[in-house]
Structure formats: C-alpha cells, structure tokens
C-alpha cells in the first residue's frame, strides 16, 4: 500500500530546471527553422521560463549558458527572474564555439589557449556570484579525431589542472558539475567520455564536485539507471540533463523516446532518497520543429509522470519479493507502478496547489503565444549559431 498523501507531498517538492537555450531558435547542422515570437535576449528567455513555472508549478529556475546569455548586468537579470517568481539556476560554460578551441579548450596543447578557457570558466563563477546561482556545469568538447594526434594522459593532466583552478575559486555552497559525453564533436578520443572519467576527476577535486548525467550522452543500450544508482551511493550525482535520444545526442523532449527508461532512472533516484536531496533535475533539450514553450511544459510533465510512477512503487512489497528471490513478483511490483495512469493524480496535485489541472491547456488559454509573436520581432537563434 502506498501513502498517497506522501506521494503528493513529494511531487510538490520536485523542481525541474529549464534551459534558456530551449526557448530560442535551434536546429540541426542542416537547418535552423526560425519560429516567430522566440526571445530576442536572455530577459525574454527568462520571461518564457516563467510561463512554464506558472503553468506547471514545478519549474522554478532557469539555466543560463554563457556566452549565449551574456548580459551587461547579471544582477538585473536575477532581479528580473525574481520579479517573475523564478531564480537563476545552473550556469553552463561554453568552450566549444571559438576558433581557438580547434584542438580543445582546457586540454589544448597550448598553455595560452588553456588560460583563455579557464578564464571563461572563472567568469562563469563570477556570474554565479552575481545571480545567486549554486551550480557551475562544465561540458567540454575536448578530444581528438586521430590516433596519435595528442597525448591522452597529458590531456587528462591538463584537464585536472584546469578543474582544480576553477574548483578552488568556488564560493561556499557553490558546486561544480562535470558532464560527460561519449563522443562528438571529437570522434577518436573524448577527454570526458564517461561517468568513470568524470567521477575520477570529481573525487580528486572534493566533495562539491559532482557528475552530471545527460541522458543523451551514452552508447545505445547503456544502463543509465545503474550509473545513477552507483553515483548516488557515492554521493556524487550532481544532477541530470534530461532529454530523449533515438540515435545519438538528439536532445528530444525528455520522456518522449523512452518513458520507461525515465521511470527506471527515477525509481533509482527515489530509492536513494534523491527527491529530497541536492540532485538537480534539469532539462537539456532543443525544440527544432515543435512549438517551444508547450514542448518544455510537456517535458516537465513527463518528468513528473515518471517521478509519480516511481513514487508509487510498493517498496515494502518489492523488498519482500527481492528477499524471497521471487523474480517475477519483484518485477511485477515495478511494472504495476509503471502501468499506473498517474495523470489523474497529477491533475489533483496541481488543483490542490491552485493550478489549472492541465498545464498545456493553461498555457494555450493564457494568450502568451500570440502575445510574443506580436511583440517580439527578430528573434535570435538559441546559441548554436549565435
């Protein structure tokens, strides 16, 4: 038997951070399909993120990506967010769109390029100070394309040195989240290709260095929930970049391609007490052909649904079946929870919080989509082309 009141209370505490870059135009390397009404600056991205929070009630922060979200006055951006009931979340660094980084950034063989990259990371910490952001999220495009191109161990040394410099600059309460990615844009070696490499660097740095699991950054068939379980056991799961993939780093809506995988991940998170911990639940996606704000709302709802199902797992019954070695019963407990239609429960949770039961309908009724098309002329790409 599950305590429904406790499930509802847990659902109300979950917070899903949305990424500023998901609100702007984006595309593939083939084409960016511009949409009318997209934000023209970071202030407008924050305004869109506020709509997602207004309709879902569980998206209280928005992540920045620097330099895509560079502004003259970061404190003003944070105040703007606060005025709209939002806060600035994770600050994401970007050391992958500068000609100097052709051979890498913090792993580059030239010390001058490494200094430039570290300078950018330190600037990101300044922005955290100015905005009240807790987390610095680092993803490096560094790697090599050809065997022999550079010394793999030397690159790890350079990476460790850069990370240590930035970690040393963090203020009290600030964290460094290190994201890994199997491949791309480098194809032979990637300097942070997997959770093991990220974990090894974090261990050397200290307790506030944590690993980020981007669900799109693994080889097909990788058991992501196992990685989550191990990192949580070590106290080193910093958070998630949620999105969906069919083939590679597709950045589709979280929970769209494989809702069962999202449930299995949330099952491990809930089991390890992660909903009440400092694990950050972030989205990292792009909406190339679909309407952006409703797609982000849908993604937040997908995370909520997976979480609700994970909370409904009858854990005492599961533990009994596991202890008895009853494979089928244990599996049935999990599948029963997954098969539950949690939409009525989530509608109730929203209504009890004074929200419209259907966030997508609430957004459609708000008139925001028409207003931004009328008011915003000349929207910019999300960043890939900026």
| 3-state SS, residue 189 | strand
**Residue 214 Cβ, how far from ligand LRH at the closest point, in Å?**
5
Where are the alpha helices (H) located in 102-172, listed in sequence order? 111-131, 152-169
Which residue, 54 or 191, has its beta carbon nearer to ligand LRH? 191
Q: Which of the residues 164 through 183 are near ligand LRH (CB under 6 A)?
A: 179, 181
Among residues 20, 178, 9, 21, the alpha carbon closest in space to that of 86 is found at: 20
**Residue 250 Cβ, how far from Mn ion at the closest point, in Å?**
9
Which residue, 104 or 238, has its beta carbon nearer to Mn ion? 238
Please report whether residue 69 would count as binding ligand LRH according to CB under 6 A: no
Which residue of this chain has its Cβ atom nearest to ligand LRH in the complex? 139
Among residues 294, 262, 264, the alpha carbon closest in space to that of 359 is found at: 294
* Contacted entry of Mn ion, ligand LRH, none for residue 268, CB cut-off 5 to 8 Å set by kind: none
Q: Which tokens belong to 385?
A: 């082309």
CB contact set of 59 (below 8 Å; sequence gap of 6+): 15, 16, 17, 18, 49, 52, 53, 296, 300
* Contacted entry of Mn ion, ligand LRH, none for residue 281, CB cut-off 5 to 8 Å set by kind: none
Please report whether residue 100 would count as binding ligand LRH according to CB under 6 A: no
Interface residue with ligand LRH among 23, 74, 101, 139 (CB under 6 A) is 139
Interatomic CA distance for residues 55 and 155, integer angstroms: 46
**Residue 217 Cβ, how far from Mn ion at the closest point, in Å?**
6
Which residue, 150 or 214, has its beta carbon nearer to ligand LRH? 214
Number of CB atoms found within 10 A of residue 303's CB: 24
**Residue 286 Cβ, how far from ligand LRH at the closest point, in Å?**
8
**Residue 92 Cβ, how far from ligand LRH at the closest point, in Å?**
5
Please report whether residue 249 would count as binding ligand LRH according to CB under 6 A: yes
**Residue 139 Cβ, how far from ligand LRH at the closest point, in Å?**
4
Do 102 and 144 form a contact (C-beta atoms < 8 A)? no
Classify the C-alpha dihedral 91-18-211-108 as positive or negative. Answer: negative
Interatomic CA distance for residues 263 and 197, integer angstroms: 26
**Residue 19 Cβ, how far from ligand LRH at the closest point, in Å?**
7
Which residue, 284 or 305, has its beta carbon nearer to Mn ion? 284
Interface residue with ligand LRH among 20, 25, 35, 92 (CB under 6 A) is 92
Q: Which of the residues 299 through 338 are near ligand LRH (CB under 6 A)?
A: none
Please report whether residue 241 would count as binding ligand LRH according to CB under 6 A: yes
Give the interface with Mn ion as residue ranges (CB under 5 A): 214, 241, 249, 284
| 3-state SS, residue 136 | strand
CB contact set of 236 (below 8 Å; sequence gap of 6+): 199, 202, 203, 209, 210, 211
* Contacted entry of ligand LRH, Mn ion, none for residue 69, CB cut-off 5 to 8 Å set by kind: none
Strands 143-144 and 189-190, by their bridges, are: antiparallel
* Burial of 273: CB neighbours in 10 Å, binned 0-12, 13-18, 19+: exposed
Q: Which residues bind ligand LRH (CB under 6 A)?
A: 92, 139, 179, 181, 214, 241, 249, 284
């Amino acid at each position: 038997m599950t305590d429904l009141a406790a499930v509802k209370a847990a659902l109300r505490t979950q917070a899903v951070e949305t990424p500023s870059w998901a609100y702007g135009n984006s595309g593939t390397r083939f084409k960016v399909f511009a949409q009318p009404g997209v934000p023209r600056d970071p202030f407008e991205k924050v305004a869109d993120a506020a709509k997602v929070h207004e309709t879902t009630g569980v998206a209280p922060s928005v992540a920045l990506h620097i330099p895509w979200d560079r502004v003259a006055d970061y404190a003003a951006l944070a105040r703007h967010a606060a005025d709209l009931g939002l806060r600035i979340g994770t600050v994401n660094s970007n050391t992958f769109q500068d000609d100097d980084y052709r051979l890498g950034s913090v792993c580059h063989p030239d010390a001058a390029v490494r200094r430039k990259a570290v300078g950018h990371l330190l600037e990101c910490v300044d922005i955290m100070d100015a905005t009240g952001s807790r987390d610095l999220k680092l993803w490096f495009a560094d790697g090599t394309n050809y065997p022999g191109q550079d010394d793999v161990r030397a690159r790890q040394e350079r990476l460790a040195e850069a990370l240590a410099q930035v970690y040393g600059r963090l203020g009290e309460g600030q964290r460094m989240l290190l994201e890994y990615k199997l491949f791309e844009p480098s194809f032979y070696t990637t300097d942070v290709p997997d959770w093991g490499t990220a974990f090894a660097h974090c261990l050397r740095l200290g307790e506030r260095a944590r690993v980020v699991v981007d669900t799109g950054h693994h080889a097909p068939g990788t058991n992501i929930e196992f990685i989550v379980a191990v990192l949580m056991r070590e106290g080193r799961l910093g958070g998630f970049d949620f999105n969906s993939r069919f083939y590679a780093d597709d950045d589709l809506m979280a929970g769209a391609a494989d809702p069962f995988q999202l449930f299995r991940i949330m099952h491990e998170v809930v089991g390890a007490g992660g909903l009440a911990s400092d694990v950050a639940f972030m989205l990292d996606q792009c909406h190339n052909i679909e309407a952006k704000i409703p797609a982000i709302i849908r993604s937040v709802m997908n995370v909520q649904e997976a979480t609700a199902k994970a909370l409904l797992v009858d854990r005492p019954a599961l533990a009994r079946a596991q202890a008895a070695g009853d494979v089928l019963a244990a599996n049935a407990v999990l599948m029963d929870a997954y098969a539950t239609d949690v939409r009525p429960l989530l509608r109730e949770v929203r209504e009890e919080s004074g929200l419209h039961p259907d966030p997508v309908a609430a957004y459609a009724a708000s008139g925001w989509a028409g207003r931004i098309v009328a008011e915003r002329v000349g929207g910019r790409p999300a960043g890939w082309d900026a």
